[in-house]
Amino acid sequence: MTVSRPELEEIVDGLSADQKQISPKYFYDERGSKLFDDITRLPEYYLTNTELGIMRDNIDEIVELVGKQASLIEFGSGSSLKTRVLLEHLSELAAYVPVDISEEHLYASAERIRARFPHIEVIPVVADFTKEFELPEPMVLPIRNVIYFPGSTIGNFEHDMAMELLRVMHHEAGKNGALLIGVDLQKDPEIIESAYNDAAGVTAEFNLNVLEHLNRDYGTNFDVDEFSHSANYDVEKGRVVIELVSHADQKVELGDTQFDIADGEAILTEYSHKYTLEGFREMASAAGFNVEKVWTDANRLFSVQFLMRD
């Protein structure tokens, strides 16, 4: 693959920080994308099935709010599992635009969607959706853009970065645009921690794969066998802290740069923030969105929310 200078600089900056970190976007090479699909089917991972249940229970109202002849733009499309629930009911959609950084996985997913919904124009866009990107022009002119961001992926971003992402969505939605988003809610810490420490070890494999990805495609030399997965819920800050912990002193190289990693030192790979409804409403409002409708499951584990652009 072609490696861009901004990506190399981002990795170097992350590993040079006092708290070493790797952006979660590097989880999603082809293997990482497949492993995440596996995670969504784990019994401990309540998020996917709960969100699917909310959508199925409220699909008529969701479709009415999306409206006719919309362009549905999915940020971080993955396998588009939940999107199929929407596409089965959005009979007058102008286009479906999945956006993802993992090119091969994105195109494979788009082909499956085309085969399942041949009447819908599917236009995949390879892009880093945390930054503004150019939208394609569908054959049918959309009346509005609806950004779709399921799975509570918004929780992976710290507050300032989440705000920036919401502003990108605000820009891409355009005039009269909207946002349909999944937002995980604060709840019993035991339920949360179990979701990120599954018994089968798939989440650990997914986390460790980020090092395999960097070694293969970016030229680092992490000793992956000397790292282990760690995920703990910080109740005070309302977030899961996901890390890779080294079990040996290591010297890792990337080009001409060398990083010392101490035995016991942790590399932050992801946060997963859990929100209160009011807390998310305030953040969305600051980014230019008004929360029009919130749907939750009976146990209030998760929410699906429809936001209108100011």
CATH number for the domain that contains residue 104 = 3.40.50.150
**Do 56 and 122 sit in the same domain of this protein?**
yes
**Do 168 and 222 sit in the same domain of this protein?**
no
**Do 34 and 58 sit in the same domain of this protein?**
no
**Do 51 and 151 sit in the same domain of this protein?**
yes
**Do 35 and 126 sit in the same domain of this protein?**
no
- Of 147, 144, 166, give the one whose Cα is nearest residue 155: 166
Q: 16 is in which domain, residue-wise? A: 5-43+196-273
Instruction: Provide the residue-wise pLDDT of the chain in tens; the chain has 310 residues.
Output: 566 677 899 999 999 999 999 998 899 888 998 999 899 899 999 999 999 999 999 999 999 999 999 999 999 875 567 889 999 999 899 999 999 887 887 898 899 999 999 999 999 999 989 999 999 999 999 999 999 999 899 998 999 999 999 999 999 999 999 999 999 999 999 999 999 999 999 999 999 999 999 999 999 999 999 999 999 999 999 999 999 999 999 999 998 999 999 999 999 999 999 999 999 999 999 999 999 999 999 999 999 999 999 8
Lay out the sheet containing 178-184: strands in order across: 125-126, 95-100, 70-75, 144-149, 178-184, 302-309, 289-296
**Do 243 and 145 sit in the same domain of this protein?**
no
**Do 66 and 147 sit in the same domain of this protein?**
yes
**Do 294 and 205 sit in the same domain of this protein?**
no
**Do 52 and 169 sit in the same domain of this protein?**
yes
**Do 305 and 161 sit in the same domain of this protein?**
yes
Model confidence, pTM? 0.89
